[in-house]
Structure 1
Amino acid sequence: MVHLTDLPQDFTIELTMYTLNDYCRETFGEKLYKISLNGGFTCPNRDGTLGSRGCIFCSAGGSGDFTEDPHASITAQIEAGKKKVEKKMKSGGHYIAYFQAYTNTYAPIEKLEELFTAAISHPDVRVLSVATRPDCLPEETIALLARLNRIKPVWVELGLQTIHEESARYIRRRYPLAVYEDALRRLKEAGLTVITHVILGLPGETREDMLETIKYLTKGIKDTRTDGIKLQLLHVLRNTDLAEDYLAGHFSVMTLEEYLPLLADCIRRLPPDMVVHRITGDGPKSLLLAPLWTGNKRQVLNAITRYFKEEHVQQGELFPAD
C-alpha cells in the first residue's frame, strides 16, 4: 500500500492543528497524495560505516515497508503509486514524491541527481521529499537539493527521534545532537524546507523528556527552526533488536489512553505555523508486534479527534513552550 503520512481528507482534527493537508491546500490549492519511493539506497548504520544492524527499531526494509518496487525505475514507481491512490480521488490529483527507504542522500551525487531529477520532472509531482540522516548531507548534496528546489519545492526529512543522548545511544542513532543542529542550519540557509521526525515513547524516556525534545524543536525564530514535524509513536516491529528487548520485558509500550494526553501536550507546544505531518504512524500489520491498537488507523484518528475536542486542544496555545 502507499503509505500516506498526511491525514485523511475528511479528518476534522484540522480545526485544531495545522496539518499537512491544510498546508497543501493553502500552498498548492489542493490535497497532495504521497507516493513512497525506493531509490535502492543503504545506510551508514547498515553498511558497516557506522554499524551493521541499523537503528534498533528499524525493520529490514529501512522504514520503507510501504515503498514501491526498488527494482523499477522512479517513473515506473510513481505510475504504480498513482494507480494505488486514484480510487481515493474524486478527480485527477497531484503527488509528493517521497524517497523513504533507508538513507536517501547516502550515495554518489551522480546517482542522487539522476533519481531526484526523474522524480521532480514527473508532470504530476508537485513536491520532492527526501528522508535522510543529518550526518549524510555533504555540501554538494545540499547544493543539488537547492538547485532542484528552484524547479519544484524540495522537503528534507531529518530523523532526529530525540534530543537525549542516552536515548540516542540506546536506539543506535550514532550521531550527536550537534550534527542535527548543523544540518538544520545548512539546509535552512540553502532555502530548503525541513521536517523533523520524533519518536514518542522511547524506552526510558519520561513525559518530561519527550516534551523537552518538542521544546527544543520550537526554539528560535521561524527561519532557524524546523518547518514541519512528524510525531511517531514507538512501534515494535518483528525481527528487530527492539523486538528482542520488548519480548524480554525490558520496556512496555504506551496505551492509547497514555498517548492521547501526551500527543495533546506536544501539539499545544508547537508554533501555530509549524506543519504537523504525522501524529501516530502505522507499521505493516504483518510486522507489528506492539502496540497492536495502532493497527486500526481510523479508530485511532477518531479517538484523537474526540479527545482534542473534549480537552479543547489547540496548536500553539502553550507556545513558546513552558
Structure 2
Amino acid sequence: MNDRYSWGHEKRYNDFSSHFKKMFQRRVQKVSIDAGFTCPNRDGTKARGGCTYCNNETFTPSYTNLKVPISTQIDEGVSFFKKKYNAISFLAYFQAFSNTYAPFDVLHRFYEEALSHPEVIGLVIATRPDCLTPEILDYLEILSKKYYIMVEIGVESVNDKTLEFINRGHNHQETVDAIHELDKRGIHNCVHAILGLPGEDRETILEQARVISELPIENLKLHQLQIHKGTKMYRQYSENPEIFSLYTAEEYLDIVVEYLELLNPNIIVERFISTAPPELLVAPKWGLKNFEFVAKLEKKLEQMDTYQGRLYIRDI
C-alpha cells in the first residue's frame, strides 16, 4: 500500500502529521504567540475594519496575551503542552493578525526573542502576501539556514472578485508573487484557503484546487466558511442570508474529497476544517471536532477508493 502513494505512507492524502514526524523524528508542537500586530486593512493603510470574516478571538489560544512578554507566552505554552505529550520540541507560532507587518527592527527583536528560548527550534509566521518586504524575506532566508522557518500566507481565495468582496486588500497576483519569493529563498510555506465564500460555487472551489496545484506550495490549510459574531460578514449574513450557501458537514465532506482528487500530491495538507468557540460561532454549527471530520474523510476516501491527486493533471 505504501508504494501506491508518492508520499510513502498508507493514508490517502499527504498529511502534515506524518510529514512532520518523518522530518523531525519526534513530535513538534506549535506554541501560539500574540505579539500585538495589526494588519494594513485594519489600520487604514489599505482599508479599515479588516477582512469581513475575521474575528481573531476565534483562533487565539487562552495562553496568549499581547500584554505578556513573548518569552513568557512561550513558557506558558510549553508548560501546557508538556503536560500532554512527551519527547516534544516547539515552534513559536506568531499567529494573530499579520506577523510581518511592523518595522524590521521590531520583527527582528521579536523573532530573536522567540528563537532564544531553549526549547524552540523554529518559527511559524502567519501573515499576508502583501506584507513580505525584500528585507524581511532576506532575513528569514538567513534564519532558515539554522532554524525551521515557515511562513503561513492567508490566500483564502484565488478569485480577485471574491478577495475584493471580503476586503482582503490584495489581489491574487500578489499571492502568487509572495509564494514564489518564499520558494526561491528556500523558506517553508503554508497557504490558507476558505471553501464556500460568497459567490464561489462548487466549480469555483474546484478550480481553486487546480490553480494552487500549479504553485510551489508546500503546505495547505483548508477550512469551511464560518460566520462569527463581531464580524462584518455576520452583519451581511443577518441582512442578506441569501448570498451565503453554507455547507452541511456532509456537503463539505463531498467538496473536500473532490478538491483532494484534483490537488497536486506533493502539497502537504495540514487541516480540513476550522473550529470556533461556541459563543462566537453563528453558522454552520456542525458539532464536529477536527479529528472527527478527518475520520469521516478517511472513511469516505476508502469507500470511494480515491486519494489526493487521483485526477491531478500537471499544467505543462
The 1-side partners of 2:59 and 2:167 are apart by: 15
Is 1:300 aligned to residue 293 of structure 2? Answer: yes
Residue 6 of structure 2: aligned partner:
none
Residue 4 of structure 2: aligned partner:
none
Q: Give 1:197 deviation, angstroms.
A: 0.7
Task: Decide whether aligned partners of structure 1 residues 200 and 14 sit closer, same or farther in structure 2, where only a CA change above 3 A counts.
Answer: farther
The 2-side partners of 1:60 and 1:263 are apart by: 25
The 1-side partners of 2:40 and 2:61 are apart by: 19
- Which of 254, 259, 266 aligns to 2:259? It is 266
Which amino acid in structure 1 is aligned with residue 37 of structure 2?
F
- Which of 213, 216, 219 aligns to 1:228? It is 219
The 2-side partners of 1:41 and 1:128 are apart by: 16
- Which of 58, 63, 70 aligns to 1:74? It is 70
Task: Decide whether aligned partners of structure 1 residues 195 and 67 sit closer, same or farther in structure 2, where only a CA change above 3 A counts.
Answer: farther
Is 1:113 aligned to residue 108 of structure 2? Answer: yes
Q: Give 1:61 deviation, angstroms.
A: 4.1
**In the TM superposition, what are the counterparts of 1:99-178 in structure 2 within 5 Å?**
99-178=94-173
Gaps in structure 1 of 5+ consecutive residues: 1-12
Contact kept? 1:163, 1:177, Cα under 8 Å = yes
State the identity %: 32
Contact kept? 1:41, 1:107, Cα under 8 Å = yes
Q: Alpha-carbon deviations, 1:233-264, whole Å to 9, x = none?
A: 11111111111122232323110111011111
The 2-side partners of 1:195 and 1:143 are apart by: 18
The 1-side partners of 2:66 and 2:110 are apart by: 12
Task: Decide whether aligned partners of structure 1 residues 14 and 140 sit closer, same or farther in structure 2, where only a CA change above 3 A counts.
Answer: farther
Q: Greater shift after overlay, 279-288 or 149-158?
A: 279-288
Is 1:41 aligned to residue 27 of structure 2? Answer: no
Which amino acid in structure 1 is aligned with residue 151 of structure 2?
V
RMSD: 2.0
The 1-side partners of 2:118 and 2:82 are apart by: 16
Residue 185 of structure 1: aligned partner:
180
Residue 3 of structure 1: aligned partner:
none
Aligned with 2:297: secondary structure? helix
- Which of 12, 18, 25 aligns to 1:16? It is 12
Contact kept? 2:27, 2:87, Cα under 8 Å = no
Q: Give 1:320 deviation, angstroms.
A: 2.2
Which amino acid in structure 1 is aligned with residue 176 of structure 2?
E
Q: Alpha-carbon deviations, 1:167-214, whole Å to 9, x = none?
A: 111111111111111111211111111111110011121111011111
Contact kept? 2:196, 2:245, Cα under 8 Å = no
TM-score normalized with structure 2 length: 0.91
Task: Decide whether aligned partners of structure 1 residues 188 and 67 sit closer, same or farther in structure 2, where only a CA change above 3 A counts.
Answer: farther
The 2-side partners of 1:87 and 1:261 are apart by: 37
Task: Decide whether aligned partners of structure 1 residues 262 and 67 sit closer, same or farther in structure 2, where only a CA change above 3 A counts.
Answer: farther
Is 1:92 aligned to residue 87 of structure 2? Answer: yes
Residue 304 of structure 2: aligned partner:
311
Contact kept? 1:282, 1:294, Cα under 8 Å = no
The 1-side partners of 2:135 and 2:251 are apart by: 44
The 1-side partners of 2:158 and 2:275 are apart by: 23
Which amino acid in structure 2 is aligned with residue 199 of structure 1?
I
Q: Give 1:36 deviation, angstroms.
A: 1.2
The 1-side partners of 2:282 and 2:62 are apart by: 17
Task: Decide whether aligned partners of structure 1 residues 31 and 209 sit closer, same or farther in structure 2, where only a CA change above 3 A counts.
Answer: same
Residue 243 of structure 1: aligned partner:
234
Q: Alpha-carbon deviations, 1:256-301, whole Å to 9, x = none?
A: 1110111111112222221111111112222111111155444333
Q: Alpha-carbon deviations, 1:21-77, whole Å to 9, x = none?
A: 111111100221121111110111111111111000001548546661111111111
What is the number of residues matched between the two proteins?
305
Residue 282 of structure 2: aligned partner:
289
The 1-side partners of 2:189 and 2:96 are apart by: 18
The 2-side partners of 1:177 and 1:236 are apart by: 23
Contact kept? 1:285, 1:295, Cα under 8 Å = no
Contact kept? 1:283, 1:295, Cα under 8 Å = no
- Which of 272, 277, 284 aligns to 1:279? It is 272
Which amino acid in structure 1 is aligned with residue 286 of structure 2?
W
Gaps in structure 2 of 5+ consecutive residues: 1-8
Which amino acid in structure 2 is aligned with residue 97 of structure 1?
A
Residue 22 of structure 2: aligned partner:
26
